[in-house]
Structure 1
Amino acid sequence: QKKDKTEVAEEPKKQKKVINDENRHKPYGKTAWVPVDDVHILRYYPRTIYEAAEAIDMLKNFQKLDFTPHEQPVYVDLRLNMKLEKKKKVDPFISTVHLPHPFKAGMNRVLVFTEDAHQAKVAMENGAAIAGGVELIQPILDDEISADFYIAVPDILSKLVPLKNKLRKKFPKSKRGSVGLHIPKMLELFKTGHEYLVENECYIRTQIATLDMPKEHIFSNLRTVLLDVCSHRPADMGPFIERAIMASHTSEALWFRSQDVLQPEAEKKIIKWKKTRD
């Protein structure tokens, strides 16, 4: 009986059958490639995947037809292929980028940790909201002081351990670019930077613009975010973004082709749209 159990356990698993629809007159299990009518049952047809530029135009049209707020946020939702060689994976990451066309009106509040009086002065002169040493730890723990970003010089980092649980993902890290000696450069990034992170192992959902921005500005911000995302995985491992969705706050989700946005030709599109608008 034990022998039978061992034999059953050693049976090879059946591989999932992959059907190639490339040369078929219609996709397997579907009615046709494209619906004939405007009104149709979605499950009978393959999902429509748009060009990014077309998706932006559609979001703007949805807003006009639905009479929804024109300044509503535009989001991008990505699923990443985190696999590397030999069963390794890309670690979930947090990144801060400079968007070419910021959608926030004000600056981010940045707190600088340093015990050097000269460095603290430089920080304040370059736009830091607060600069100081270990005396800031207790007020932060008591919620008397807060900031959008926290940066630090290397010398003080070991003294900030009590803040790890409080700040969590905002705790200064060299990998994130929030630990260093060049305070003005760090402040330049974090004062106007846009932060996004990988959640649930392989998903990114972040705002990239507002719907009232020109089409080329939304596209340019989208391209900046996608290029930064793809920089976290070797290019020779194949496409990093498995699925890309764009949506506004009130619209339906639109699948789009991320690879088109990453191509060098996409930059020429932005220039062309700008000339047309001017």
Structure 2
Amino acid sequence: MTDAYSQPSREWWAQRWIDVLESFGWTRRLARARTYAREGNVLNIDFQSAKVSANVQGTAPEPYQVSLSLDPFSDDQWSYVIESMAERAIFSAKLLAGEMPQTIEEVFTANGLSLFPFNKFDIHSRCSCPDPANPCKHIGAVYYLLGDRFSEDPFVLFQLRGRTKEQIIEALRQTRSAGGETSEAEEPVSTVRPATTLKLDRFWHYAEQLEPTLIVIVPPPSSETVLEVLGTIPLKPEVPANQAAMDYLKAVYQEISQQAVQIAMTTE
């Protein structure tokens, strides 16, 4: 039986949040928590900076008070993360479009951080109910509904780590702008850029010897093709020819990706 909180249609970052929680082994507790979440027992969820507070209706007349938080990153840690994000334009484009880049975790991992909880000790939660277990079903219900919030707005996950959507977007803009201004300032005003002639027949040719120790051939980290990473081509889906063109391009990109990996992994 497919659970309502574990479906392929759910955005990957929301499902990743749920998968992390369920990997901690709280099977029975979370089963009861899913029931609470589905039946609307979570009356409200509010954000106070990086902390979540909620009221959950249990068996008692008055709802229980739940609080939840993750360890926020320091200013220096966020500076490193923002700088890494700014170096890849696709991250800025996807985040501005309200999407979580598929490889966003790599940015945090490269800086020694984990965007999602690494273990149960990364999640700090309390409930006013008499159940001594943590998480109780009330806390668990809030966990699951947070996954729904992540689906609606992926920046909520960043907020739990100490940065709001507005802060991240503004920091990205400033970092990218500063990088562009620096590169222009370093170039003399009188410099005249020479015209460049693109030689298509030698576009993929590189005559210099590469250092063997710097080359590592590995399969791609995800199944996304370049076409999927760049986003949907603005064609009208109601025109059959356009849909056929998109299907053809997807097949071509998948075939090219597979052949590229096979060629790269061939040692002969």
Looking at secondary structure, tell me which structure has more helix per residue: 2
- What TM-score does the superposition give when structure 1 sets the normalisation length? 0.23
Which structure has more relative contact order (CA 8 Å, sep 6+)? It is 1
Looking at secondary structure, tell me which structure has more strand per residue: 1
